Chain A
Amino acid sequence: MGRIQDKIAVVTGGASGIGEGTVRLFVSEGAKVVIADVQDARGQKLAEELGTNAAYVHADVSQEAEVQGAIEAALSKWGRLDCMFNNAGFGGVSGPIESTDMDAFDQTMAVLFRGVVLGMKLAAPVMKAQGSGSIISTSSVAGVGIGYGPHIYSAAKAAIIHLTKSVANELGESGVRANAICPGGIATPIFGKGMGLTPEQADYTIDLMKARLAEGQPIKRSGLPSDIAEAALWLASDASSFVSGHALVVDGALTTGRLWSERQAAAESRVGQFKIPGNQ
């Protein structure tokens, strides 16, 4: 008996990275999952590998009809929707504020924020009618602190946290929960793709990112998709049935501040600087 046995979920961005990790965990814990993504070949291959408890649907989350299509697929195949995981994302437009191209701004917001609004909007009527459901959205530590991502990525992720609270407030009375997850440095292809690599090339950067991300936070290892998947699993399960409107940070303590060891080293170097001649 899995921890989310027989629950029906839609996972956007489910073909790679955090989404793929979540799809795999959800299925292994008894759920039936619609993998919604724009990476058709990867998504189909994943669905084939996982068997009859997974199905792939092409869904560009910025398009209302496509998000609707993913939810309809869950309903027509399995009759209900217990969890909507709004996870599809990318780094989006970056660089100095003054040179931000506004078309790129619009595309970034369309995926990162409009996509989440659509996931919530279209899951809500189904879940309200059921009287239950868990909406989970991937935010980021970039939505909590500054310096973890580009301007628009950061602002969009903060908007997701706040939209989650606003919608949790509305839907709580209908038995529907809404929460966000704020991943820290997770070794996924998002970084490679941001550098212009193809999805296949970006896969090769995952191991590089694991090594690079291992040193960034107090817990000395890179975050993994499975870390986020476990948080999503808990939020999707009935074990979290009184948790709603929350932004769950899963970052190995990254956002708590500078590394203790670095601060110690800095303090020791200051001892030397502050030494007053004749007062050793």
Chain B
Amino acid sequence: MTNLEGKVAVITGGASGIGEGTVRLFAEQGARVVIADIQDERGQQLAEDLGPTTAYQHTNVSQEEDVRAAVQLAVQKWGRLDCIFNNAGFGGVSGPIELTDMNAYDDTMAVLLRGVFLGIKHAAAVMKAQGSGSIVSTASVAGLQAGFGPHAYSAAKAAVIHLTRSVSVELGEFGVRANSVCPGFIATNIFTTPFGLTGAAADAALGNVSAAFEDWAPMKRAGKPRDIAQAVAWLASDDSSYVTGQHIAVDGGLTAGRDIGELRERLGRAYGVDPALLGAQPPAQQ
């Protein structure tokens, strides 16, 4: 069991989804957490539920002043910053490359890459001075392979993985670590809001999202925010003190490879053979 007793963290996008799951786990493990989000009502409610070891701060991660203020709040309230979890995100602009609206592209990159960059930038100054700290950023399986998300989302997530490596090389000698997590299909509102669902209606649809993801990964269940939170808690803890510049895929095996059964079925159809016979057992000796 990891222990975050006494650690101080800022978690962007902390009011819902993976961020909320991580805020809850961090609080359970004894950390003090600034919940940084633009969903004020949800964020304030969560901070109230969890008590005085958490605080909510309105933070649009694409705005430098907002990110600086979230980091400052942690430092003012609790005197230090042990972990920043750059997690705020959304699906962003989608569709064919040729129809991509460039304003929507700019908005997407502002949150998905500029936001992470700002979190790293402002945490770095504090953590270098401390001589310790763990920077964790939410990338995605979409940053590892194509076909798991829209173009801009995929490219931005790949950039987060690589920025993490670049920064880990700079900050390693100051005792500061930087890693990213690559969630697979996690049942969160990132999959309901693009369909216009909000608030309670969105939360109510999460069961359907889970059901939809049941078959996608070798582990045959949807990911839960807590699956990612556990990885982040480990990266934030001293148990991972020699781990830096890495990305951890938490995806139920999704990116490990394709199911050989699928290939077998295709070949079976192509050969006009019952796929169930192919490779299932050695052919009978004549």
- Interface SS of B by simple majority: helix
Given the complex of chains A and B, what is the CA–CA distance between A258 and B219 in angstroms?
Answer: 39
| B166, A151: Cβ atoms closer than 8 Å | yes
B108 shortest CB reach to chain A, Å: 10
A170 shortest CB reach to chain B, Å: 6
Which chain A positions have C-beta within 8 A of B169? 146-147
| A166, B167: Cβ atoms closer than 8 Å | no
A122 shortest CB reach to chain B, Å: 8
Among A96, A106, A124, A152, contact of B97 (Cβ-Cβ < 8 Å) = A124
Given A98-B121, A117-B105, verify A163-B64 contact (CB < 8 Å): no
**Which residue from chain B places its CB closest to the CB of A144 in the assembled complex?**
B162
Which chain B positions have C-beta within 8 A of A98? 121-122, 124-125, 128
Which chain A positions have C-beta within 8 A of B145? 165
| A166, B161: Cβ atoms closer than 8 Å | no
Given the complex of chains A and B, what is the CA–CA distance between A133 and B149 in angstroms?
Answer: 24
Given A97-B124, A163-B155, verify A121-B146 contact (CB < 8 Å): no
Which chain A positions have C-beta within 8 A of B156? 159
B85 at the interface (CB under 8 A from A): no
Q: Which of B94-113 contact A (CB under 8 A)?
A: 96-98, 100, 102, 105-106, 109, 113
B43 at the interface (CB under 8 A from A): no
1/0 contact string of A86-112 vs chain B (CB within 8 Å): 000000000011101010011001000
B274 at the interface (CB under 8 A from A): no
**Which residue from chain A places its CB closest to the CB of B124 in the assembled complex?**
A98
Q: Which of A55-108 contact B (CB under 8 A)?
A: 64, 96-98, 100, 102, 105-106
| A245, B109: Cβ atoms closer than 8 Å | no
B231 at the interface (CB under 8 A from A): no
| Interface size counted on chain A using CB atoms at 8 A | 42
Given the complex of chains A and B, what is the CA–CA distance between A100 and B71 in angstroms?
Answer: 17
Given the complex of chains A and B, what is the CA–CA distance between A124 and B151 in angstroms?
Answer: 14
A210 at the interface (CB under 8 A from B): no
A188 at the interface (CB under 8 A from B): no
B281 shortest CB reach to chain A, Å: 35
Which chain A positions have C-beta within 8 A of B121? 97-98, 100
B250 at the interface (CB under 8 A from A): no
B215 at the interface (CB under 8 A from A): no
| B158, A146: Cβ atoms closer than 8 Å | no
| B171, A97: Cβ atoms closer than 8 Å | yes
B186 at the interface (CB under 8 A from A): no
Among B102, B122, B163, contact of A154 (Cβ-Cβ < 8 Å) = B163
Q: How many inter-chain contacts with C-beta < 8 Å in the A-B complex?
A: 121
**Which residue from chain B places its CB closest to the CB of A167 in the assembled complex?**
B97
Given A102-B118, A105-B117, A143-B162, verify A171-B154 contact (CB < 8 Å): no
Given A97-B170, A114-B105, A165-B146, verify A155-B100 contact (CB < 8 Å): no
A168 at the interface (CB under 8 A from B): yes
Instruction: Give the size category of B's interface with A.
Output: 35 or more
Given the complex of chains A and B, what is the CA–CA distance between A220 and B164 in angstroms?
Answer: 31
1/0 contact string of A139-153 vs chain B (CB within 8 Å): 000010011000110
Given the complex of chains A and B, what is the CA–CA distance between A122 and B140 in angstroms?
Answer: 27
- Interface SS of A by simple majority: helix
**Which residue from chain A places its CB closest to the CB of B178 in the assembled complex?**
A97
B199 at the interface (CB under 8 A from A): no
| A170, B159: Cβ atoms closer than 8 Å | no
Which chain B positions have C-beta within 8 A of A167? 97, 151
A228 at the interface (CB under 8 A from B): no
A10 at the interface (CB under 8 A from B): no
Which chain A positions have C-beta within 8 A of B124? 96-98
Given the complex of chains A and B, what is the CA–CA distance between A156 and B158 in angstroms?
Answer: 9
A187 shortest CB reach to chain B, Å: 24
A72 shortest CB reach to chain B, Å: 15
A169 at the interface (CB under 8 A from B): yes
| B64, A102: Cβ atoms closer than 8 Å | yes
Given the complex of chains A and B, what is the CA–CA distance between A245 and B160 in angstroms?
Answer: 20
**Which residue from chain B places its CB closest to the CB of A125 in the assembled complex?**
B98
B165 at the interface (CB under 8 A from A): yes
| A159, B155: Cβ atoms closer than 8 Å | yes
**Which residue from chain B places its CB closest to the CB of A153 in the assembled complex?**
B166
Among A120, A152, A245, contact of B146 (Cβ-Cβ < 8 Å) = A245
| B151, A170: Cβ atoms closer than 8 Å | yes
Q: Show 29 A/B contacts (Cβ-Cβ < 8 Å), sorted by A.
A: A96-B124, A97-B117, A98-B128, A100-B117, A102-B64, A102-B118, A113-B109, A113-B159, A117-B97, A117-B151, A121-B97, A121-B98, A124-B96, A152-B163, A154-B162, A154-B163, A155-B113, A155-B160, A155-B162, A155-B163, A160-B155, A161-B158, A162-B154, A162-B157, A163-B155, A165-B146, A167-B97, A170-B97, A171-B97
Nearest 6 interchain pairs by C-beta: A162-B158, A158-B162, A163-B155, A155-B163, A159-B159, A124-B98
Give chain B's interface residues, CB within 8 Å of chain A: 64, 96-98, 100, 102, 105-106, 109, 113-114, 117-118, 120-122, 124-125, 128, 143, 145-147, 150-152, 154-163, 165-171, 245
New contact pairs (8) apart from A97-B117, A118-B102, CB-CB < 8 Å: A102-B64, A121-B97, A154-B162, A162-B157, A162-B158, A165-B145, A166-B155, A171-B97
